[in-house]
Structures are given as C-alpha cells and as structure tokens.
Amino acid sequence: MHDVNVAPVEEPVSQTLEEVVNDFSVHVATVNGSGSQSSNLILLRALFEMGIPVSGKNLFPSNIAGLPTWYTIRASKYGFTGRKKETDVLVAMNSQTAEEDVESLSPGRAVIYDEPLHLNDLRQDLHFYPVPFDKLVAPVCPAPKLRKLVRNIIYDGVLASLLGIEMEEIRNAILKQFKTKPKAVELNWNAAVAGYDWAQEHLVKKDPFRFERMEGNKGKIIIEGNAAAALGAVFGGVSVITWYPITPSSSLAESAQEYLKRFRIDPETGKATFAVVQAEDELASIGMAIGAGWAGARSMTTTAGPGISLMSEFVGLAHFAEIPVVLIDVQRMGPSTGLPTRTSQGDFLSAATLSHGDTLHPMLIPATPEECFEFTAKAFDVAERIQSPVFVMLDLDLGMNYWTADKFEYPDWEMDRGKVLSEDDIEKLLGNWGRYRDIDGDGITYRTIPGNRHPQAAYFARGTGHDPDANYSEREEDWIRNMARIRKKMLGTRRLLPEPVIDDNPNARFAFVGAGTSNEAIRESRSQLLLEYGIETAYCRVRGWPFSHRTEDFIARHKRVYVVEQNRDAQLRTLLRRQFPVIHDHLRSICYFGGMPLDARTVTEAVVEEERL
C-alpha cells in the first residue's frame, strides 16, 4: 500500500530527568474569549527576545467566547519550530478540558494548574505545580470584570519563574503589547510580577525543562503569515482589494487595509492610492476584483474554501477573458464549512482547475512569512504578465499563527505590468493589433486598458467564444485556436513561478516532496530519521504549480518519494502525477487530515511504517 493516512501517533514515553534546555513545548489550555491570547503572545515574544527560536500556534474553536482553546509554543534551539505533538509543559487553566489535557501527557512532564482543579490527584508520573490564581489576582486587579483576563498574565509570571524566562523580557513584551495604554501596562506587569514572586517563593522546581538566552533570532521578526502576505500586497503595489470576511483569511485583508492606510494615503491631501472594499459576498468580491483587473488596477481578493467554491464561475470568466487578478486562499479544513478554525491543504485540487470546462490556474505556495511576503508581491507580476487569475495558497497555520522570520527584503525587482498597450503603442502597430492575437508566440497577447484614448484601443471582453480580435465567434477554428493558445500560455507560466527548493543527497534512502506548511514537519522529520534511524533523505519543496521541470528531475532521481500533505485525498500527489505521469510510481503519499498543524513525529512514524524501519 502506498497511501498512508496518518492518525495521531503517541510519542514514546521518556522519563528522563536530564535537563532539557530550549527544546520543548509549552501548551496553554484556556477558555476562548478570556483574553489569553495577549498573555500567550507576551510569552512568545519574551522567548523570542531571549534569542530562542520559537513559534506559537493557536488551536482555537469556531466560537467567540466560552469554548476551550489551546495555545502551543514550540521552542527549539535547533530551529525546528513546527508543532511538537507532545506537550512538555502544560498550563491548565480550563476546567472543561483539564483532566483530558493531563491524561494526554507523557510521564515526566510538567503541569501548572489552577489550584481548585486538584489535578495532582490524576497521575503520579507528572510534575504538578498548583497555583492559586484567584488569590493572586484579587490584589493586583481591583475590577472583578477584568480578573478573568488578568489571571492569564499571572501564568506568564509563574512560567517565567519555573522555566527561567527573563522578567525583563516579559516586561518588554508587555510594553510592546500595550504600548498606547499605560494603565494596561501597569496592570499586566503587576500581575506578571505577582505570579513570578509567588512562584519563586512557593514552587520547587522538579521538572527538567528550562529556557536559556541564546543567539537564535538575530535580525529576525515575529509575524503571522497573513500580515506578511498583506505586506506583500502593499509592497507589491496592490491598488484594489475586495474581500468578504471569512476565517482564516479576514485578518489578511484587515491588516492590508491598515498598512495601506499608513503607507498609501497622501498625508497632505488624505487621498488614497488604493481601494479596499468589503463586498456583500464572495461572488461580489471576486467580481469586483475582476472588474478592477480588467480596468487596469492591481487587484486581489482573499478568502478561504467556501469562498473559493463560490468564486468558481467568476474565476472561469477571468481565465477565459484573460483578466489578471490575484486570489489568496488561506486554506482551512473542508469540505463545506468544515472546521473553520483548523488548518488544511485541501484546496489544491479545486484551485488548480477551478470552474467548469478546461481551465488551469497557477498557484504559488509559500511556506514561510518571507515567502508570504515575496510570493504575494510576485503574484501580481505573474497575474499581469499572463493576464489570468493567480492563486496564492496559504493555510490557517501559516496565516494566523506567529512565526519567526528573517526581516523581509525590499522588493528589488521592477513591477511587471505585463503586455499593456498605450495610445502610442497602438499607433505604432498601425491597426495591426487584436486583443487575442498571439504576436509573440508565447500565447500571451496584448491588452489595452479602458480609458486608453486611442480610437482603436477598445475591445470587447467576454466569457463567450471570440476570435483573435475579440469579436464574438462560434467558429470551430476560432475556438480551438484560442483554447490551444491559452493552454500554451498557461503551461509557460511555470517559468514565472518560484522554483522548488531542493535539498538533494546522493546517499538518500528515499525522498520527500512537500509544499507550504508541511515544510517544518518534513525538515524536522528528516532530522529525526537521521538521528534516530541513521537514514539520509532528500527533499524537494515545490512552491509553484504548474510544477517546474526541476521537480520532475528530482522525482525521477529518487525511486521512493513521499509526498507529504495535509489533506485526505493526496491532492498534491494527484497534481504531480497528472503533470508527470511517467514517474507516477515513484510517488507515495503521506496524508494527514486532522486539522492540527502538521508535526514531525507524525511524518516520521508514517515513513517508518512504510519503510518498515
């Protein structure tokens, strides 16, 4: 059997008492709406400032307040910041899940918990630290309504004491978080100190987990992928953004709007070089983006699975009428409404050939914030170059979680506005222009932008059959010629897309192919395979579809290639097989579709089973 569907696998129990420094996970269980996001971010930022490679993942329900939520922080001195499946340090603040959370731990782990929950009775093989949050919160927070919130900052202090997080950095993080609100800074700082002091006095360190300053974050930033993509749009020169709210993509549009307001409004006149429109639904948002792209704007829309489905008809129009538009799909778990707050890579297939009839839409697939920034900016160039919809495929894990990243490089390339004819250009062509005439032989034709004042500039865009001059045509030859040209154009697109990142290895026993956020898990799994099994592997991370020939060559070089992806039906492998049928039998599949950010252990276990290691 070549296909493995990965169910969660338990890591082997480790009872070690040796110190574990800068290489463990902290898992905070709270109640949604209790404001724990602030305290978790403060934690994350403090660790970041201590120079420890770190990531934070929010495992939240589709709910506003009341349901259980978790935040999991992964620190790794080796720089593996994918999710760690195992929890090492649990902070149990939520009575609804506390028992289950504790039960799921491996022996030797640490539990900080709210004293009244009495979790220490549950197991003997863990290190328990009860904390009387209610008692601690009252003196530092006079307003009862806010205590629910302030309790959470207290655990930051407790963790600082227990794990060796520098209080100085906690303070800096609080300052950063509440910069404009001195009252809030004070309240939170007092709470953190209360937690810290109390823990120093009352808790005896028993567990092996400890943080220590290192130098891992020189020149780095912390950012969510959505904000990175938003910046990419802003620095990519977007001029029209249309969107409809949907998790997990809303924050992309919202932060783009904020950055645009900041950098793209003339401070003197107050006038904007952009428009951001919240549409009435996804049919309208894609329709507006297409209208704007047709009329010469750099336009984009952002959405998630249900929106992609609704946009299907319109995307076919843009493809066929050859209108540039960028679509960002921040993938969440489908089908249907599915799990709106869980991550997935389940839209590859639908995006690639969205809409009825023969269609192809290029995809750019970033795996890091840097790539979110760069690829989003580039997507506009690709879209305007090929005059077609272009997808940027993020996912919830990448988009909504905080990642450390290198500072983004200012885009040094010139914007490519594609084959656009000015009044003068038309004049020079002496009437020898047709909107859909393939003059250059690359399938890409020249367009004019409405408003062009040349009397011959106008053409008629349509979703119906047309001849090279954009006249309505039902002629068989016109149709075939046009469709063949469009295919040629689309296949040529691969040269414009980011090349795969290949880590080849002559000693590789087998290879991995992955895309997007599977990257962290694959990287770490390769290290696990090497350290634990002595097995070397190769790795090709694809970053664009249609795939590059380099990907084909890579697969051809390796007899067993595991395609790792986060969906049920091996969608990435399906696309690989479709494009490279000849090497189809090299491709195996590791599919995880549980909605959590993929972790390395899951990949390793699956490979170990397949390879019978």
Partner 1 sequence: MSATTTAKRKKTGTPNRIGLGLDPYRGLKTTLCAGCGHNSISERIIECFFEMGIDPTQVVKLSGIGCSSKSPAYFLSMSHGFNSVHGRMPAVATGAVLANKQLLALGVSGDGDTASIGLGQFVHMMRRNVPIIYIIEDNGCYGLTKGQFSATASRGSLTKTGISNDLAPIDSCGLAVQMGATFVARSFSGDKKQLQAILKAALSHRGTAVVDVVSPCVTFNDHVGSTKSYKYVRDNKIPLQSIGFVPFFDEIHVEEDFAPGSVREVELHDGSLLRLEKLEEDYDPTDRLKALGRIEAAVEQGQIITGVLYVDTEMPSFTEMLNLDDLPLAQIGPERLRPPQSALNEVMTELA
Ligand X SMILES: Cc1ncc(C[n+]2csc(CCOP(=O)(O)OP(=O)(O)O)c2C)c(N)n1
Q: Which of residues 323-342 bind ligand X (CB under 6 A)?
A: 337
Q: Is 307 one of the binding residues for ligand X (CB under 6 A)?
A: yes
Is residue 155 within 8 A of residue 91, CB to CB? The reply is yes
Number of chain residues interacting with a second copy (CB under 8 A):
66
Tokens 């749009």 correspond to 233
Write out the two tokens for 199: 């823990």
Interacting positions 53-72 with partner 1 (CB under 8 A): 62-67
95 binds, among a second copy, partner 1, ligand X, none (CB under 5 to 8 A by kind): none
Q: How far is CA 587 from CA 352, 536, 590, in A?
A: 20, 18, 10
Stretch that binds partner 1, among 97-105, 111-119, 406-414, 437-445 (CB under 8 A): 406-414
Residue number with CB closer to ligand X (306 or 366) = 306
| Phi, psi at 514, each rounded to 5° | -150, 175
Q: Report DSSP state, residue 588.
A: E
User: Is position 567 an interface residue for a second copy (rule: CB under 8 A)?
Assistant: yes
**Dist. CA 123–CA 172, nearest whole Å:** 37
Q: Residues 281-300 vs ligand X: string with x where CB under 6 A? A: -x------------------
Kindly give the interhelix angle for 369-386 and 476-492, rounded to the nearest 10 degrees: 150
Range 496-525, binding partner 1 (CB under 8 A)? none
Cβ distance 516 to 366 under 8 Å?
Answer: yes
Residue with tokens 């319109």: 314
DSSP label of 455: T
Nearer to a second copy, 45 or 588 (CB): 588
Q: β-strands 363-364, 389-395: how paired?
A: parallel
**Any contact of residue 530 with a second copy (CB under 8 A)?**
no
Kindly state the smallest distance separating residue 199's Cβ from partner 1, in Å: 22
What would the two tokens of residue 264 be?
């793209």
Amino acid identity at 159: L
Q: Tell me whether residue 33 or residue 492 sits nearer to ligand X (CB atom).
A: 33
Residues 246-305 that bind a second copy (CB under 8 A): 305
| Structure tokens, 159 | 């963790």
Angle between helices 225-235 and 369-386 (to 10 degrees): 40
Shortest CB 256 distance to ligand X, Å: 17
Distances (CA, A) of 543 to 143, 262, 401, 438, 505: 51, 31, 20, 29, 20
- Restricted to residues 344-363, the positions that interact with a second copy (CB under 8 A) are 344, 346-347, 349-350, 353, 355-360
5 near a second copy (CB under 8 A): yes
In the list 109, 319, 489, 494, the residue contacting a second copy (rule: CB under 8 A) is: 319
492 CA to centre of own chain: 27
CB of 456 to partner 1, least distance (A): 8
Strands of the 54-59 sheet, one edge to the other: 127-131, 110-114, 89-92, 23-31, 68-76, 54-59, 402-406, 220-224
- Could you say which of partner 1, a second copy, ligand X, none residue 22 binds, taking C-beta under 5 to 8 angstroms by partner kind? none
Q: Give min distance, CB of 351 to ligand X, in A.
A: 16
Q: Which residues of this protein are in contact with a second copy, per CB under 8 A?
A: 5, 7-8, 61-62, 305-306, 308-310, 312-313, 316-317, 319-321, 333-342, 344, 346-347, 349-350, 353, 355-360, 462-465, 474, 476-477, 479-480, 483-484, 487, 567-569, 571, 574, 577-578, 581-582, 584-585, 593-596
Q: Which residues of this protein are in contact with ligand X, per CB under 6 A?
A: 244-246, 282, 306-307, 310, 337
